[in-house]
A and B are shown apart, each in its own frame.
Chain A
């Protein structure tokens, strides 16, 4: 039996304190969500007392379930719609921006890069209020609703693909592209046939990250939604969480969780596939999460 002091001074002891903190953190961060998911299957109206298992709040209840209550499933559809449209616009825009900034020397691209990084850290509510003012006090062709929401989301998300692709460009360097051009490829052909395939992991990771981040968004989409028909899930949860909701709200949140989980898992599997045999890419989850 060793004394506690000897245990403390042993440089080879396993890091039990750090393991404990990590485990405690994981439990603290995940168990509340797990409980909320479990209560979406509650048979009664309570979100705090278990009354038996049922799928009543998903489709069983004829008026208040997610399937039958129009207010709930429009929210889910709006969230997914915003996620898809925003991703389709943001990722090409951000990728082009990153490659362009990388190729272009001078003050202007440096300033543009700064602007992009500022948009990355600016408190979201500031951008949301600014865009709300723009849409409501100027006569623009775009009114509040899906259009304005997409506009705001793209602006807020464009930094994601840009940062990821710039990091990847820095890792792969310029020599592959120069070799292609020395072998006779035009700059555009070198970009399309050498650089772009090498950027694929970063592009793909940013697709998944932007989608996951958009369906999680709250501040922008709330201010820029015109009426309740363009309110996504996050806004619906915010509006009803404190006003005696039923477990249908938990069910709605659980469905969104499933959608995100599906997107991430599929994305990760495809990411593993396209980086197979690629030694320059970090194939682990860290690379996928953009910590390049």
Chain B
């Protein structure tokens, strides 16, 4: 490297200069796109939430100047979370509970599966991976449709439970059962947890684990004190990658329950987006979800960005 610099002919100066311009030139289209269609729309949401509503047409009028922002719509939403008028409160609590339960369920399923496929499956690994990836290209809606069919009143689940007509089982699965929604969320999102976990567990150094066993740790001790601490960042990243999208989910609840009894914050957003005059309210709810998601999001981004540098 140093030798080339010493022996460099004069024109290589301009070559290096061109090389340093090449990066910006290639990156600019993508950066402009993200600024225009990712960052700017988020500002538009702010301008609408803190903007006015047209008194006649009930349409939202964005206010661009932050100095003229009017927080009444945001306050309206905030004041309806707790207290006597707390119409949004239950849905927010429900979202937290459902996402936590579904995330936990996903982890309980995904970790053993990812562990087995990454570390113990041997020659069957390729086939198993292909099957694990399947839910990625089977449309989410099709997978929900499959469960809608199975959970009908005369569907296969009820017929299985009645053991071929032995018992009279008439469970209305699809009318606001929280269990069904949580299981549906877990079913829909678990694949997104298995792959990152698989990648993390696949990278674990075998020698360290063997060393733990050689030094006298039993199976649980070596798992608890070596494997788990080493893949903790992966687990956290995988949980975030699964749970953050769940925060905005409304279609799982719509497909599998269609009842306000299981409405999540996504349903609140979806309902107010579609009713005229509530645009600002929808925007305020969007900001609320963003506020909750922003800390875990930046944690994920920092962990990932650091991983980029070290690799």
Contact = CB atoms under 8 A, between A and B. Distances in A.
B273 A218 contact: no
B300 A233 contact: no
Given A18-B112, A249-B145, A291-B202, A187 B273 contact: no
B156 A126 contact: no
Contact of A103 (B26, B130, B136, B141): B26
Given A30-B131, A35-B156, A256-B139, A115 B38 contact: yes
Contact of A129 (B113, B240, B286): B286
B305 A101 contact: no
B147 A123 contact: no
B273 A223 contact: yes
Given A125-B248, A126-B42, A138-B62, 18 more contacts: A21-B109, A25-B113, A26-B132, A29-B134, A35-B146, A100-B30, A103-B23, A114-B301, A118-B298, A125-B289, A137-B44, A137-B279, A158-B34, A182-B4, A238-B254, A241-B141, A260-B139, A261-B137
Interface of B: 1, 4, 15, 18-20, 22-31, 33-35, 37-42, 44-45, 48, 59-62, 109, 112-113, 115-117, 120-121, 125-126, 128-150, 152, 154-156, 174, 187, 190-191, 195-196, 198-199, 202, 213, 219, 240-241, 244-245, 247-251, 254-255, 258, 266, 269-270, 273, 279, 282-283, 286, 289-290, 293, 297-298, 300-301, 304-305, 308, 311
Interface stretch (A52-60, A61-69, A281-289): A281-289
A237 interface: yes
Interface in A178-226: 178, 181-182, 186-188, 191, 212-213, 215-216, 218-219, 223
B204 to A, nearest CB: 14
A121 B248 contact: no
Nearest to B311: A170
Contacts of B244: 121-123
Contacts of A108: 31
Contacts of B42: 126, 130
28 contacts: A15-B120, A18-B112, A22-B121, A25-B109, A32-B146, A39-B149, A93-B29, A99-B23, A100-B26, A104-B20, A112-B30, A112-B31, A116-B30, A123-B245, A126-B42, A130-B41, A130-B45, A133-B62, A134-B40, A137-B44, A137-B48, A187-B18, A187-B19, A237-B141, A237-B144, A242-B254, A242-B255, A289-B136
Given A123-B293, A124-B245, A216 B145 contact: no
A257 interface: yes
Contacts of B154: 48-49
A253 interface: yes
A33 B188 CA distance: 12
B30 A131 contact: no
A149 interface: no
Contacts of B27: 96-97, 99-101, 103-104, 109, 112
A35 B248 contact: no
Contact of A30 (B20, B134, B245, B258): B134
A43 interface: no
A291 B286 contact: no
Contact of A233 (B15, B130, B141, B279): B141
A150 B222 CA distance: 49
Consensus secondary structure, chain A interface: helix
Contact of B305 (A113, A162, A261): A113
A71 interface: no
Contacts of A11: 213, 219
Contacts of A29: 134-135, 187, 190-191
A29 B202 CA distance: 22
B273 A253 contact: no
Place the interface of chain A in its size category.
Answer: 35 or more
Contacts of A119: 34, 38
A120 B286 CA distance: 17
Given A36-B145, A123-B248, A291-B195, A48 B23 contact: no
A109 B309 CA distance: 14
A289 B129 contact: yes
A97 to B, nearest CB: 3
Nearest to B42: A130
Interface in A18-53: 18-19, 21-22, 25-26, 28-30, 32-33, 35-36, 39, 47-49
B199 A21 contact: no
Given A25-B109, A134-B41, A218 B245 contact: no
B10 to A, nearest CB: 15
A113 B249 CA distance: 26
A115 B117 CA distance: 33
A129 B140 contact: no
A158 B30 contact: yes
B190 to A, nearest CB: 7
A49 B240 CA distance: 40
B116 A15 contact: yes
A250 interface: yes
A164 interface: no
Contact of B301 (A33, A96, A121): A121
B62 A137 contact: yes
Given A130-B42, A134-B41, A33 B138 contact: yes
